[in-house]
A and B are shown apart, each in its own frame.
Chain A
Amino acid sequence: MMRIAIASGKGGTGKTTVATNLALAAAAKNVPVAYLDCDVEEPNGALFLKPDTERELNVEVSVPAIDLKKCVGCGICGKICQFNAIAALGEKILLFPELCHGCGGCWLACPTYAVTESKRITGKLQIGQNTEGVKFIQGLLNIGEAMSPPVIKAVKRAAPEAELTIIDSPPGTSCPVIESIRDSNYVILVTEPTPFGLNDLKLAVDMVKALVLPFVVVINRADSGDDQTRQFCRDIGAGIIEIPDSRKVAEAYSRGELAFNAVPEFRDVFTGLLDKILATANPVSGQLERSVER
Protein backbone atom coordinates (compact mmCIF):
# COMPACT_ATOMS: atom_id res chain seq x y z
CA MET A 1 0.00 0.00 0.00
CA MET A 2 1.56 3.20 -1.10
CA ARG A 3 0.12 6.68 -1.37
CA ILE A 4 1.79 9.13 -3.73
CA ALA A 5 0.58 12.74 -3.85
CA ILE A 6 1.17 14.97 -6.86
CA ALA A 7 1.40 18.65 -5.89
CA SER A 8 2.81 21.96 -7.11
CA GLY A 9 2.88 25.50 -5.83
CA LYS A 10 2.12 26.97 -9.24
CA GLY A 11 -0.94 25.94 -11.22
CA GLY A 12 -0.79 24.56 -14.73
CA THR A 13 2.61 22.90 -14.40
CA GLY A 14 1.31 19.44 -15.24
CA LYS A 15 0.07 17.79 -12.02
CA THR A 16 -2.88 16.12 -13.70
CA THR A 17 -0.73 15.06 -16.67
CA VAL A 18 1.74 13.36 -14.33
CA ALA A 19 -0.93 11.88 -12.06
CA THR A 20 -3.15 10.40 -14.79
CA ASN A 21 -0.29 9.06 -16.89
CA LEU A 22 1.27 7.47 -13.80
CA ALA A 23 -2.04 5.81 -13.02
CA LEU A 24 -2.17 4.42 -16.54
CA ALA A 25 1.46 3.28 -16.43
CA ALA A 26 0.68 1.42 -13.19
CA ALA A 27 -2.44 -0.20 -14.64
CA ALA A 28 -0.42 -1.27 -17.69
CA LYS A 29 1.95 -3.11 -15.32
CA ASN A 30 -1.00 -4.74 -13.56
CA VAL A 31 -0.38 -2.78 -10.37
CA PRO A 32 -3.80 -2.27 -8.70
CA VAL A 33 -4.12 1.52 -8.74
CA ALA A 34 -6.59 4.12 -7.50
CA TYR A 35 -6.62 7.72 -8.70
CA LEU A 36 -8.03 10.33 -6.30
CA ASP A 37 -8.86 13.76 -7.71
CA CYS A 38 -8.48 16.05 -4.70
CA ASP A 39 -8.51 19.22 -6.82
CA VAL A 40 -12.19 19.48 -5.95
CA GLU A 41 -12.44 23.11 -7.11
CA GLU A 42 -11.34 22.29 -10.64
CA PRO A 43 -11.01 18.52 -11.06
CA ASN A 44 -9.69 17.47 -14.49
CA GLY A 45 -8.61 13.85 -14.05
CA ALA A 46 -11.92 12.47 -15.33
CA LEU A 47 -11.44 14.25 -18.66
CA PHE A 48 -8.38 12.09 -19.27
CA LEU A 49 -9.09 8.80 -17.47
CA LYS A 50 -12.72 8.80 -18.69
CA PRO A 51 -14.09 6.60 -15.89
CA ASP A 52 -17.61 5.22 -15.73
CA THR A 53 -19.27 6.64 -12.65
CA GLU A 54 -20.73 3.79 -10.63
CA ARG A 55 -21.71 5.69 -7.51
CA GLU A 56 -22.41 9.29 -6.61
CA LEU A 57 -22.49 10.53 -3.01
CA ASN A 58 -23.20 13.90 -1.47
CA VAL A 59 -20.64 15.53 0.78
CA GLU A 60 -22.24 16.84 3.92
CA VAL A 61 -20.76 19.18 6.48
CA SER A 62 -22.00 19.83 9.99
CA VAL A 63 -23.72 23.15 10.67
CA PRO A 64 -25.85 24.39 13.56
CA ALA A 65 -29.65 24.50 13.64
CA ILE A 66 -31.47 26.63 16.22
CA ASP A 67 -34.67 25.82 18.07
CA LEU A 68 -35.80 29.31 19.05
CA LYS A 69 -38.32 27.92 21.54
CA LYS A 70 -35.45 26.58 23.62
CA CYS A 71 -33.17 29.62 23.13
CA VAL A 72 -32.84 31.89 26.16
CA GLY A 73 -30.69 34.45 24.33
CA CYS A 74 -27.57 33.89 26.45
CA GLY A 75 -25.30 34.55 23.45
CA ILE A 76 -22.83 31.77 24.25
CA CYS A 77 -23.07 30.30 20.72
CA GLY A 78 -21.96 33.58 19.18
CA LYS A 79 -19.17 33.88 21.71
CA ILE A 80 -17.62 30.46 21.06
CA CYS A 81 -17.79 30.74 17.25
CA GLN A 82 -14.43 31.84 15.83
CA PHE A 83 -15.70 32.05 12.26
CA ASN A 84 -18.58 34.55 12.49
CA ALA A 85 -20.96 31.80 11.42
CA ILE A 86 -23.39 32.45 14.23
CA ALA A 87 -24.28 35.84 15.66
CA ALA A 88 -26.39 36.20 18.77
CA LEU A 89 -28.13 39.55 19.01
CA GLY A 90 -30.16 39.18 22.18
CA GLU A 91 -33.19 37.06 21.30
CA LYS A 92 -32.23 37.01 17.64
CA ILE A 93 -29.79 34.44 16.28
CA LEU A 94 -28.32 34.85 12.81
CA LEU A 95 -26.74 31.87 11.05
CA PHE A 96 -24.17 32.12 8.25
CA PRO A 97 -23.76 28.41 7.41
CA GLU A 98 -21.32 29.04 4.54
CA LEU A 99 -18.84 30.42 7.08
CA CYS A 100 -19.23 27.46 9.46
CA HIS A 101 -16.24 25.15 9.92
CA GLY A 102 -18.36 22.51 11.66
CA CYS A 103 -16.31 22.55 14.86
CA GLY A 104 -19.37 21.81 16.99
CA GLY A 105 -18.58 24.52 19.54
CA CYS A 106 -22.02 26.15 19.47
CA TRP A 107 -24.07 22.99 19.97
CA LEU A 108 -21.69 21.61 22.58
CA ALA A 109 -21.67 24.86 24.54
CA CYS A 110 -25.38 25.76 24.34
CA PRO A 111 -26.70 25.36 27.92
CA THR A 112 -30.34 24.84 26.88
CA TYR A 113 -29.76 22.49 23.93
CA ALA A 114 -31.34 25.05 21.61
CA VAL A 115 -28.49 24.58 19.13
CA THR A 116 -28.23 21.18 17.48
CA GLU A 117 -26.10 19.64 14.79
CA SER A 118 -27.55 19.71 11.33
CA LYS A 119 -26.11 18.86 7.89
CA ARG A 120 -25.55 20.83 4.74
CA ILE A 121 -24.43 19.56 1.32
CA THR A 122 -21.38 21.38 -0.09
CA GLY A 123 -20.25 19.00 -2.79
CA LYS A 124 -20.36 15.51 -4.21
CA LEU A 125 -18.21 12.48 -4.87
CA GLN A 126 -18.13 10.40 -8.04
CA ILE A 127 -16.69 6.92 -7.80
CA GLY A 128 -15.99 4.47 -10.60
CA GLN A 129 -13.40 2.80 -12.76
CA ASN A 130 -12.03 3.28 -16.27
CA THR A 131 -11.54 0.75 -19.06
CA GLU A 132 -7.84 0.31 -18.23
CA GLY A 133 -8.80 -0.74 -14.70
CA VAL A 134 -7.84 2.45 -12.86
CA LYS A 135 -10.11 2.89 -9.85
CA PHE A 136 -11.34 6.45 -9.76
CA ILE A 137 -12.81 8.94 -7.32
CA GLN A 138 -13.26 12.67 -7.63
CA GLY A 139 -14.72 15.36 -5.44
CA LEU A 140 -16.65 18.34 -6.78
CA LEU A 141 -17.10 21.43 -4.63
CA ASN A 142 -20.44 23.10 -5.28
CA ILE A 143 -20.17 26.48 -7.02
CA GLY A 144 -20.24 29.33 -4.52
CA GLU A 145 -18.95 27.22 -1.62
CA ALA A 146 -15.75 28.57 -0.10
CA MET A 147 -14.36 25.59 1.79
CA SER A 148 -12.86 22.71 -0.15
CA PRO A 149 -11.10 20.78 2.70
CA PRO A 150 -14.27 18.90 3.82
CA VAL A 151 -14.82 17.65 0.25
CA ILE A 152 -11.16 16.63 0.00
CA LYS A 153 -11.47 14.77 3.31
CA ALA A 154 -14.54 12.98 1.97
CA VAL A 155 -12.68 11.92 -1.20
CA LYS A 156 -9.95 10.36 0.89
CA ARG A 157 -12.39 8.65 3.23
CA ALA A 158 -14.39 7.09 0.38
CA ALA A 159 -11.32 6.23 -1.73
CA PRO A 160 -11.19 2.73 -3.21
CA GLU A 161 -8.49 0.44 -1.81
CA ALA A 162 -5.51 -0.27 -4.03
CA GLU A 163 -1.87 -1.19 -3.82
CA LEU A 164 -0.94 2.18 -5.29
CA THR A 165 -2.95 5.33 -4.56
CA ILE A 166 -2.28 8.42 -6.65
CA ILE A 167 -3.53 11.69 -5.20
CA ASP A 168 -3.95 14.63 -7.59
CA SER A 169 -3.86 17.72 -5.38
CA PRO A 170 -4.92 21.33 -6.04
CA PRO A 171 -2.28 24.03 -6.70
CA GLY A 172 -0.97 26.29 -3.95
CA THR A 173 0.42 25.67 -0.48
CA SER A 174 -2.49 26.35 1.88
CA CYS A 175 -5.17 24.27 3.59
CA PRO A 176 -6.66 22.41 0.58
CA VAL A 177 -3.20 21.21 -0.46
CA ILE A 178 -2.25 20.21 3.08
CA GLU A 179 -5.49 18.24 3.40
CA SER A 180 -4.73 16.44 0.13
CA ILE A 181 -1.13 15.43 0.78
CA ARG A 182 -0.76 15.11 4.55
CA ASP A 183 -1.09 11.34 4.94
CA SER A 184 0.78 10.30 1.80
CA ASN A 185 4.06 8.35 1.79
CA TYR A 186 5.66 10.40 -0.90
CA VAL A 187 5.12 13.65 -2.79
CA ILE A 188 5.91 14.48 -6.39
CA LEU A 189 6.29 18.24 -6.85
CA VAL A 190 5.66 19.17 -10.47
CA THR A 191 7.21 22.41 -11.68
CA GLU A 192 8.41 24.13 -14.82
CA PRO A 193 11.79 25.75 -15.46
CA THR A 194 10.64 29.39 -15.26
CA PRO A 195 10.98 32.07 -12.56
CA PHE A 196 7.31 31.65 -11.54
CA GLY A 197 7.71 27.88 -11.48
CA LEU A 198 10.83 28.16 -9.33
CA ASN A 199 9.38 30.67 -6.88
CA ASP A 200 6.33 28.49 -6.29
CA LEU A 201 8.44 25.31 -6.13
CA LYS A 202 10.40 26.85 -3.26
CA LEU A 203 7.12 27.41 -1.39
CA ALA A 204 6.01 23.85 -2.13
CA VAL A 205 9.34 22.46 -0.90
CA ASP A 206 8.92 24.41 2.36
CA MET A 207 5.45 22.93 2.64
CA VAL A 208 6.49 19.28 2.23
CA LYS A 209 9.38 19.88 4.63
CA ALA A 210 6.95 21.29 7.21
CA LEU A 211 4.93 18.09 6.82
CA VAL A 212 8.12 15.98 6.96
CA LEU A 213 7.26 14.17 3.73
CA PRO A 214 9.84 12.74 1.33
CA PHE A 215 9.61 14.24 -2.15
CA VAL A 216 11.01 14.34 -5.64
CA VAL A 217 10.80 17.19 -8.15
CA VAL A 218 9.47 16.61 -11.65
CA ILE A 219 10.52 19.38 -14.03
CA ASN A 220 7.96 19.40 -16.78
CA ARG A 221 8.72 20.91 -20.19
CA ALA A 222 12.31 20.66 -18.92
CA ASP A 223 13.98 21.96 -22.05
CA SER A 224 12.01 25.22 -22.16
CA GLY A 225 12.91 28.16 -19.88
CA ASP A 226 16.13 28.45 -17.90
CA ASP A 227 18.41 26.40 -15.65
CA GLN A 228 17.60 28.03 -12.28
CA THR A 229 15.07 25.39 -11.19
CA ARG A 230 17.52 22.56 -11.84
CA GLN A 231 20.22 24.45 -9.95
CA PHE A 232 17.90 24.99 -6.96
CA CYS A 233 17.09 21.26 -6.81
CA ARG A 234 20.77 20.39 -6.90
CA ASP A 235 21.50 22.92 -4.15
CA ILE A 236 18.94 21.41 -1.79
CA GLY A 237 19.83 17.84 -2.75
CA ALA A 238 16.40 17.06 -4.15
CA GLY A 239 15.91 14.31 -6.70
CA ILE A 240 15.02 15.54 -10.19
CA ILE A 241 13.06 13.78 -12.90
CA GLU A 242 12.66 15.62 -16.21
CA ILE A 243 9.87 15.45 -18.74
CA PRO A 244 10.77 17.02 -22.09
CA ASP A 245 8.69 19.76 -23.72
CA SER A 246 6.53 18.36 -26.50
CA ARG A 247 4.02 20.04 -28.76
CA LYS A 248 2.49 16.59 -29.40
CA VAL A 249 1.85 16.07 -25.69
CA ALA A 250 0.38 19.59 -25.39
CA GLU A 251 -1.96 18.95 -28.31
CA ALA A 252 -3.01 15.53 -26.99
CA TYR A 253 -3.64 17.20 -23.62
CA SER A 254 -5.81 19.87 -25.24
CA ARG A 255 -8.03 17.11 -26.68
CA GLY A 256 -8.26 15.28 -23.36
CA GLU A 257 -5.96 12.46 -24.47
CA LEU A 258 -3.29 10.90 -22.31
CA ALA A 259 0.29 11.12 -23.55
CA PHE A 260 0.76 7.51 -22.39
CA ASN A 261 -1.72 6.40 -25.06
CA ALA A 262 -1.47 9.13 -27.67
CA VAL A 263 2.27 9.79 -27.92
CA PRO A 264 4.21 6.47 -28.19
CA GLU A 265 7.57 7.89 -27.11
CA PHE A 266 6.03 9.13 -23.85
CA ARG A 267 4.93 5.66 -22.81
CA ASP A 268 8.47 4.95 -21.70
CA VAL A 269 8.80 8.38 -20.06
CA PHE A 270 5.92 7.66 -17.68
CA THR A 271 6.74 3.98 -17.14
CA GLY A 272 10.28 5.09 -16.27
CA LEU A 273 8.92 7.76 -13.94
CA LEU A 274 6.74 5.18 -12.17
CA ASP A 275 9.63 2.72 -11.81
CA LYS A 276 11.90 5.40 -10.40
CA ILE A 277 9.31 6.50 -7.89
CA LEU A 278 8.39 2.98 -6.81
CA ALA A 279 12.08 2.20 -6.37
CA THR A 280 12.73 5.36 -4.37
CA ALA A 281 9.73 5.61 -2.12
CA ASN A 282 9.63 3.07 0.67
CA PRO A 283 6.00 2.29 1.45
CA VAL A 284 6.69 0.77 4.87
CA SER A 285 8.47 3.63 6.56
CA GLY A 286 7.45 6.39 4.18
CA GLN A 287 11.12 7.33 4.07
CA LEU A 288 12.90 8.37 0.92
CA GLU A 289 16.30 6.98 0.17
CA ARG A 290 18.14 10.17 -0.61
CA SER A 291 18.00 11.76 -4.06
CA VAL A 292 16.84 10.16 -7.26
CA GLU A 293 19.49 9.86 -9.95
CA ARG A 294 18.56 11.47 -13.21
Chain B
Amino acid sequence: MKELVVISGKGGTGKTSLVASFAYLAESCVLADCDVDAADLHLVLQPEIIERRNFSGGKRAEIISQKCTGCGKCAQVCRFDAIIVDKGIYKIDPIACEGCGVCDWFCPEKAIAFNPAINGEWYVSKTKYGIMVHAKLGIAEENSGKLVSMLREKSRKMAEKQNQDLILTDGSPGIGCPVIASLTGADLALIVAEPTLSGIHDLERVAQLVKHFGIAGAVCVNKWDLNPELSSRIEQLTKELGFVAAGNIRYDRTVTMAQINQQSVVEYQHAGCSEDIRSVWNVIYETLTSSQ
Protein backbone atom coordinates (compact mmCIF):
# COMPACT_ATOMS: atom_id res chain seq x y z
CA MET B 1 0.00 0.00 0.00
CA LYS B 2 1.34 3.45 -0.94
CA GLU B 3 0.32 6.80 0.42
CA LEU B 4 0.85 10.07 -1.39
CA VAL B 5 0.32 13.25 0.59
CA VAL B 6 -0.11 16.51 -1.30
CA ILE B 7 1.02 19.64 0.57
CA SER B 8 2.13 23.13 -0.37
CA GLY B 9 3.46 25.33 2.41
CA LYS B 10 1.68 28.30 0.88
CA GLY B 11 -2.09 28.07 0.66
CA GLY B 12 -4.10 28.20 -2.54
CA THR B 13 -1.52 26.71 -4.88
CA GLY B 14 -3.88 24.03 -6.19
CA LYS B 15 -3.54 21.01 -3.87
CA THR B 16 -7.19 20.04 -3.88
CA SER B 17 -7.70 20.45 -7.63
CA LEU B 18 -4.66 18.27 -8.17
CA VAL B 19 -5.79 15.56 -5.72
CA ALA B 20 -9.21 15.43 -7.41
CA SER B 21 -7.47 15.02 -10.79
CA PHE B 22 -5.16 12.31 -9.44
CA ALA B 23 -8.21 10.44 -8.11
CA TYR B 24 -9.72 10.50 -11.58
CA LEU B 25 -6.47 9.35 -13.20
CA ALA B 26 -5.83 6.61 -10.61
CA GLU B 27 -9.36 5.32 -11.28
CA SER B 28 -9.47 3.58 -7.93
CA CYS B 29 -7.99 4.64 -4.59
CA VAL B 30 -8.80 5.66 -1.04
CA LEU B 31 -8.94 9.42 -0.47
CA ALA B 32 -8.28 11.35 2.73
CA ASP B 33 -9.02 15.06 2.99
CA CYS B 34 -6.68 16.11 5.79
CA ASP B 35 -7.18 19.86 5.36
CA VAL B 36 -9.63 19.67 8.24
CA ASP B 37 -9.75 23.46 8.81
CA ALA B 38 -10.95 24.25 5.34
CA ALA B 39 -11.82 21.01 3.58
CA ASP B 40 -12.78 21.41 -0.07
CA LEU B 41 -12.26 18.04 -1.77
CA HIS B 42 -15.90 17.08 -1.12
CA LEU B 43 -16.99 19.99 -3.32
CA VAL B 44 -15.50 18.23 -6.35
CA LEU B 45 -16.07 14.59 -5.45
CA GLN B 46 -19.61 14.92 -4.09
CA PRO B 47 -19.27 12.13 -1.55
CA GLU B 48 -22.18 10.09 -0.31
CA ILE B 49 -21.69 9.83 3.46
CA ILE B 50 -21.97 6.25 4.74
CA GLU B 51 -20.60 6.73 8.24
CA ARG B 52 -20.60 9.80 10.47
CA ARG B 53 -18.87 10.08 13.85
CA ASN B 54 -18.14 12.75 16.41
CA PHE B 55 -14.52 13.67 16.99
CA SER B 56 -13.29 14.33 20.47
CA GLY B 57 -9.68 15.48 20.56
CA GLY B 58 -9.50 16.70 24.09
CA LYS B 59 -11.36 17.86 27.15
CA ARG B 60 -12.92 21.15 28.10
CA ALA B 61 -13.36 22.72 31.52
CA GLU B 62 -16.54 24.34 32.79
CA ILE B 63 -17.24 25.93 36.16
CA ILE B 64 -20.22 24.61 38.07
CA SER B 65 -21.44 27.91 39.49
CA GLN B 66 -23.40 26.35 42.38
CA LYS B 67 -20.21 24.80 43.75
CA CYS B 68 -17.88 27.75 43.07
CA THR B 69 -16.96 29.83 46.12
CA GLY B 70 -15.03 32.40 44.09
CA CYS B 71 -11.68 31.66 45.74
CA GLY B 72 -9.83 32.45 42.52
CA LYS B 73 -7.45 29.47 42.62
CA CYS B 74 -8.39 28.55 39.02
CA ALA B 75 -7.49 32.00 37.72
CA GLN B 76 -4.21 31.81 39.60
CA VAL B 77 -3.12 28.52 37.99
CA CYS B 78 -4.49 29.04 34.46
CA ARG B 79 -1.72 30.00 32.03
CA PHE B 80 -4.07 30.75 29.16
CA ASP B 81 -6.09 33.63 30.68
CA ALA B 82 -9.16 31.48 30.20
CA ILE B 83 -10.80 32.31 33.54
CA ILE B 84 -13.10 35.31 33.34
CA VAL B 85 -14.65 36.98 36.36
CA ASP B 86 -17.91 38.62 35.43
CA LYS B 87 -19.58 40.51 38.33
CA GLY B 88 -17.99 38.17 40.83
CA ILE B 89 -19.03 35.06 38.89
CA TYR B 90 -16.19 32.84 37.65
CA LYS B 91 -16.49 31.52 34.10
CA ILE B 92 -14.28 29.82 31.53
CA ASP B 93 -13.73 31.37 28.12
CA PRO B 94 -14.12 28.29 25.89
CA ILE B 95 -12.06 29.93 23.14
CA ALA B 96 -9.07 30.68 25.37
CA CYS B 97 -9.29 27.34 27.24
CA GLU B 98 -6.49 24.97 26.18
CA GLY B 99 -8.08 21.91 27.80
CA CYS B 100 -5.19 21.30 30.19
CA GLY B 101 -7.36 20.65 33.24
CA VAL B 102 -5.01 22.39 35.66
CA CYS B 103 -7.95 24.41 37.06
CA ASP B 104 -9.87 21.20 37.69
CA TRP B 105 -6.89 19.60 39.44
CA PHE B 106 -6.41 22.50 41.85
CA CYS B 107 -10.00 23.60 42.50
CA PRO B 108 -10.53 23.01 46.25
CA GLU B 109 -14.32 22.83 45.84
CA LYS B 110 -14.37 20.34 42.93
CA ALA B 111 -16.40 23.00 41.16
CA ILE B 112 -14.98 22.35 37.71
CA ALA B 113 -16.42 19.84 35.27
CA PHE B 114 -13.67 18.54 32.98
CA ASN B 115 -15.19 16.37 30.29
CA PRO B 116 -14.40 15.27 26.73
CA ALA B 117 -15.35 17.95 24.24
CA ILE B 118 -16.78 17.35 20.79
CA ASN B 119 -14.33 19.13 18.49
CA GLY B 120 -15.75 18.14 15.15
CA GLU B 121 -17.17 15.40 12.96
CA TRP B 122 -15.60 12.91 10.62
CA TYR B 123 -17.05 10.88 7.80
CA VAL B 124 -16.49 7.85 5.63
CA SER B 125 -18.01 8.40 2.21
CA LYS B 126 -18.40 6.81 -1.20
CA THR B 127 -17.18 8.69 -4.25
CA LYS B 128 -16.86 7.85 -7.94
CA TYR B 129 -13.22 6.98 -7.39
CA GLY B 130 -13.38 5.07 -4.14
CA ILE B 131 -13.81 5.55 -0.44
CA MET B 132 -13.05 8.97 1.00
CA VAL B 133 -12.50 9.88 4.63
CA HIS B 134 -12.98 13.50 5.54
CA ALA B 135 -13.89 15.69 8.47
CA LYS B 136 -15.16 18.99 9.66
CA LEU B 137 -13.31 20.53 12.58
CA GLY B 138 -15.65 22.65 14.71
CA ILE B 139 -15.25 26.41 14.51
CA ALA B 140 -12.45 27.75 16.71
CA GLU B 141 -11.51 24.19 17.75
CA GLU B 142 -8.14 22.74 18.53
CA ASN B 143 -6.51 19.37 17.99
CA SER B 144 -6.52 19.47 14.21
CA GLY B 145 -3.36 17.31 14.29
CA LYS B 146 -5.13 14.60 16.24
CA LEU B 147 -8.04 14.66 13.80
CA VAL B 148 -5.64 14.37 10.86
CA SER B 149 -3.87 11.38 12.47
CA MET B 150 -7.22 9.74 13.03
CA LEU B 151 -8.32 10.29 9.44
CA ARG B 152 -5.11 8.80 8.12
CA GLU B 153 -5.42 5.76 10.34
CA LYS B 154 -8.98 5.30 9.12
CA SER B 155 -7.90 5.69 5.49
CA ARG B 156 -5.28 2.95 5.93
CA LYS B 157 -7.85 0.64 7.48
CA MET B 158 -10.29 1.31 4.66
CA ALA B 159 -7.56 0.69 2.07
CA GLU B 160 -6.73 -2.66 3.70
CA LYS B 161 -10.36 -3.64 3.86
CA GLN B 162 -10.98 -2.68 0.25
CA ASN B 163 -7.71 -4.12 -1.02
CA GLN B 164 -6.65 -0.76 -2.36
CA ASP B 165 -2.97 -0.13 -3.06
CA LEU B 166 -3.16 3.63 -3.15
CA ILE B 167 -4.10 6.35 -0.67
CA LEU B 168 -4.28 9.96 -1.83
CA THR B 169 -4.10 12.47 1.01
CA ASP B 170 -4.95 16.13 0.59
CA GLY B 171 -2.91 18.06 3.18
CA SER B 172 -3.23 21.54 4.61
CA PRO B 173 -1.12 24.65 4.10
CA GLY B 174 1.64 25.66 6.52
CA ILE B 175 4.25 23.66 8.40
CA GLY B 176 2.51 23.24 11.76
CA CYS B 177 0.66 20.50 13.55
CA PRO B 178 -1.88 19.36 10.91
CA VAL B 179 0.85 19.27 8.25
CA ILE B 180 3.20 17.28 10.48
CA ALA B 181 0.35 14.90 11.28
CA SER B 182 -0.37 14.39 7.58
CA LEU B 183 3.29 13.79 6.68
CA THR B 184 4.61 11.28 9.19
CA GLY B 185 4.88 7.82 7.68
CA ALA B 186 3.72 8.80 4.18
CA ASP B 187 5.54 7.20 1.22
CA LEU B 188 5.83 10.38 -0.81
CA ALA B 189 5.07 14.05 -0.24
CA LEU B 190 4.23 16.07 -3.33
CA ILE B 191 4.71 19.80 -2.80
CA VAL B 192 2.63 22.00 -5.10
CA ALA B 193 4.59 25.20 -5.59
CA GLU B 194 3.83 28.41 -7.43
CA PRO B 195 6.39 30.55 -9.26
CA THR B 196 6.30 33.58 -6.98
CA LEU B 197 8.82 34.83 -4.43
CA SER B 198 6.45 33.93 -1.62
CA GLY B 199 5.81 30.56 -3.26
CA ILE B 200 9.54 29.81 -3.26
CA HIS B 201 9.97 31.04 0.33
CA ASP B 202 7.14 28.80 1.51
CA LEU B 203 8.36 25.86 -0.58
CA GLU B 204 11.78 26.08 1.07
CA ARG B 205 10.28 25.93 4.55
CA VAL B 206 7.91 23.05 3.85
CA ALA B 207 10.64 21.14 1.98
CA GLN B 208 12.84 21.40 5.08
CA LEU B 209 9.96 19.97 7.08
CA VAL B 210 9.62 17.02 4.67
CA LYS B 211 13.36 16.38 4.98
CA HIS B 212 13.21 16.79 8.77
CA PHE B 213 10.82 13.85 8.90
CA GLY B 214 12.82 11.82 6.37
CA ILE B 215 9.99 11.59 3.84
CA ALA B 216 10.69 11.28 0.10
CA GLY B 217 9.69 14.49 -1.67
CA ALA B 218 8.55 15.63 -5.10
CA VAL B 219 7.76 19.10 -6.37
CA CYS B 220 5.52 20.30 -9.17
CA VAL B 221 5.03 23.92 -10.24
CA ASN B 222 1.49 25.11 -10.79
CA LYS B 223 0.80 28.08 -13.13
CA TRP B 224 4.46 27.86 -14.15
CA ASP B 225 4.01 30.23 -17.10
CA LEU B 226 3.12 33.15 -14.76
CA ASN B 227 6.85 33.47 -14.13
CA PRO B 228 9.03 31.05 -16.18
CA GLU B 229 12.21 32.38 -14.58
CA LEU B 230 11.07 31.58 -11.04
CA SER B 231 9.74 28.22 -12.29
CA SER B 232 13.22 27.22 -13.42
CA ARG B 233 14.57 28.42 -10.09
CA ILE B 234 12.13 26.02 -8.38
CA GLU B 235 13.29 23.17 -10.63
CA GLN B 236 16.87 23.93 -9.64
CA LEU B 237 15.89 24.02 -5.99
CA THR B 238 14.09 20.68 -6.36
CA LYS B 239 17.30 19.11 -7.65
CA GLU B 240 19.32 20.60 -4.79
CA LEU B 241 16.84 19.17 -2.32
CA GLY B 242 17.20 15.73 -3.86
CA PHE B 243 13.48 15.70 -4.57
CA VAL B 244 11.77 14.43 -7.71
CA ALA B 245 10.89 17.16 -10.23
CA ALA B 246 7.35 16.13 -11.14
CA GLY B 247 6.81 18.73 -13.84
CA ASN B 248 5.10 22.00 -14.60
CA ILE B 249 1.40 22.75 -14.93
CA ARG B 250 0.36 25.73 -17.04
CA TYR B 251 -2.05 28.46 -15.95
CA ASP B 252 -5.49 27.56 -17.26
CA ARG B 253 -8.86 29.10 -16.46
CA THR B 254 -10.46 25.68 -17.00
CA VAL B 255 -9.40 24.89 -13.43
CA THR B 256 -11.90 27.41 -12.04
CA MET B 257 -14.55 26.27 -14.53
CA ALA B 258 -14.09 22.64 -13.48
CA GLN B 259 -14.43 23.66 -9.83
CA ILE B 260 -17.67 25.50 -10.58
CA ASN B 261 -18.99 22.42 -12.42
CA GLN B 262 -17.90 20.06 -9.61
CA GLN B 263 -15.53 18.15 -11.83
CA SER B 264 -11.85 17.40 -11.76
CA VAL B 265 -10.03 19.43 -14.38
CA VAL B 266 -8.55 16.37 -16.14
CA GLU B 267 -12.07 15.47 -17.19
CA TYR B 268 -11.69 18.39 -19.62
CA GLN B 269 -9.59 16.38 -22.05
CA HIS B 270 -8.71 19.31 -24.27
CA ALA B 271 -7.60 21.70 -21.55
CA GLY B 272 -3.88 22.37 -21.78
CA CYS B 273 -3.37 21.92 -18.07
CA SER B 274 -5.01 18.46 -18.21
CA GLU B 275 -2.17 17.22 -20.33
CA ASP B 276 0.34 18.67 -17.84
CA ILE B 277 -1.42 17.10 -14.85
CA ARG B 278 -1.43 13.70 -16.58
CA SER B 279 2.28 13.90 -17.05
CA VAL B 280 2.82 14.96 -13.40
CA TRP B 281 0.67 12.01 -12.32
CA ASN B 282 2.74 9.61 -14.43
CA VAL B 283 5.92 10.78 -12.71
CA ILE B 284 4.34 10.56 -9.27
CA TYR B 285 2.83 7.12 -9.91
CA GLU B 286 6.14 5.85 -11.21
CA THR B 287 7.98 7.25 -8.16
CA LEU B 288 5.46 5.77 -5.75
CA THR B 289 5.39 2.30 -7.25
CA SER B 290 9.14 2.03 -7.71
CA SER B 291 9.88 2.95 -4.06
CA GLN B 292 10.29 0.16 -1.57
Contact = CB atoms under 8 A, between A and B. Distances in A.
A128 to B, nearest CB: 17
A171 B101 contact: no
Given A174-B37, A251-B227, A256-B198, A42 B209 contact: no
Nearest to A225: B256
Interface stretch (B171-179, B236-244, B283-291): B171-179
Nearest to A104: B79
B58 interface: yes
Nearest to A224: B256
* B77, B106, B256 interface centre (most CB from chain A within 10 Å): B256
A200 B11 CA distance: 12
B95 A103 contact: no
A13 B13 CA distance: 10
Nearest to A204: B38
A10 interface: yes
Given A105-B100, A195-B43, A42 B105 contact: no
B262 interface: yes
Interface string B57-81: 0110000000000000000010110
Contact of A196 (B177, B212, B227, B259): B259
A274 to B, nearest CB: 22
B102 A103 contact: yes
Interface string A190-209: 00001110011001001100
Interface in A135-193: 141, 143-148, 170-178, 182
Contact of B226 (A11, A103, A251): A251
B162 interface: no
A10 B106 contact: no
A243 to B, nearest CB: 15
Nearest to A17: B198
B182 to A, nearest CB: 12
Contacts of B38: 9-11, 171-173, 199-200, 203
Contacts of A199: 38, 40, 43
* B139, B145, B206 interface centre (most CB from chain A within 10 Å): B139
Interface in A200-237: 200, 203, 206-207, 210-211, 224-226
B119 to A, nearest CB: 9
B49 interface: no
- Of the four ranges (under 10, 10 to 19, 20 to 34, 35 or more), the interface on chain B belongs to 35 or more
A143 B99 CA distance: 25
A109 B107 CA distance: 12
Contacts of B118: none
Contact of B11 (A10, A147, A255): A10
B209 A174 contact: no
Contact of B137 (A173, A200, A253): A173
Interface string A89-100: 000000000000
Contact of B209 (A144, A171, A175): A144
Contact of B212 (A144, A224, A256): A144
Contacts of A66: none
A177 B208 CA distance: 23
Contacts of B172: 172
A82 B256 contact: no
A101 interface: yes
A146 B100 contact: no
B105 A80 contact: yes
Contact of B16 (A13, A196, A225, A255): A196
Given A11-B11, A105-B105, A226 B201 contact: no
A143 B207 CA distance: 10
Contact of A171 (B11, B59, B212, B226): B11
A13 B212 CA distance: 29
28 contacts: A11-B38, A12-B11, A41-B173, A41-B176, A42-B173, A47-B198, A80-B101, A80-B102, A82-B59, A103-B102, A108-B77, A141-B176, A143-B175, A143-B209, A143-B212, A144-B180, A146-B180, A148-B174, A171-B11, A173-B37, A174-B141, A194-B259, A200-B40, A203-B139, A207-B139, A225-B256, A225-B260, A253-B196
Given A11-B173, A171-B174, A254-B197, 13 more contacts: A9-B37, A11-B13, A11-B38, A42-B202, A47-B197, A104-B77, A146-B177, A148-B174, A148-B177, A173-B137, A194-B256, A200-B38, A251-B226
Interface of B: 8-13, 16, 36-38, 40, 43, 58-59, 77, 79-80, 95, 98-102, 105-106, 137, 139-142, 144-145, 172-180, 194-199, 201-202, 205-206, 208-209, 212-213, 226-227, 230, 253, 256, 259-260, 262
Interface of A: 9-13, 16, 39, 41-42, 44, 47, 62, 80, 82-83, 101-105, 108-109, 141, 143-148, 170-178, 182, 194-196, 199-200, 203, 206-207, 210-211, 224-226, 250-251, 253-256
